Structure 1
């Protein structure tokens, strides 16, 4: 009987420990996955709006949706060319969500590739930060850290590897 009580007590503590561990890790994992998915969706919305504006050669027409400004290297490049952009493509990498001061922020490395009508292609890589409130609310603020990935004498692959490893 004494042994049964010990085994029962150990089983009860193990069960309580498992439930607490599962609750602590599952809620954080589910939340992080949800916010990363929402952040990726917001990045796509911004970049799709940029695609429409850039291909129409009006990058500063709807800055609320595109989050572009006169200081953005992409805007300077597009407005400085005689030829219009024929194709705009983008990639989103390393989406991370973090909380600061009660707000959720999403960071990602975004590469925007442009093909002009004369056949010239270029790419610009930026660290992008957006503030998230919920998946359905508008994005309040976006910061771009303009790093041109084409302004280097190093081959593209070497620049990309250095960027990923830094």
Structure 2
């Protein structure tokens, strides 16, 4: 029976452990696709740190809803969505999306779908901190457009 692992946490996650969890015990998964998002430098803002805020309970329900939609669209095995909140420094992990499936196309497409909808619909608020200033980041038009293709 496929499982979902959906967490919002301040602690870092271990990609190797999550990858091992994604593999099905009955060996029905022929593909595991993962994506790890990192805090990256923005030259224009001289960002040194990021602060991510969320609405507990609402955020987890939003992530669960996105995973349910992926399961409706594709035949999938285990799915993991881990998102960090709090203060994060450059090059730290922010998000992990992992999808196991019998077939690689399903795994690739479902992982992309989950990430696109996470960026569009999950209630996270991001503040970039650096160069003696703090700026709340607005949702990007490119993220909204990416989700429309599904």
Q: Which structure carries more relative contact order (alpha carbon 8 Å, separation 6+)?
A: 2
Structure with greater proportional strand content: 2
State TM-score, norm by structure 2. 0.29
Q: Indicate the structure (1 or 2) with the bigger Cα radius of gyration.
A: 1
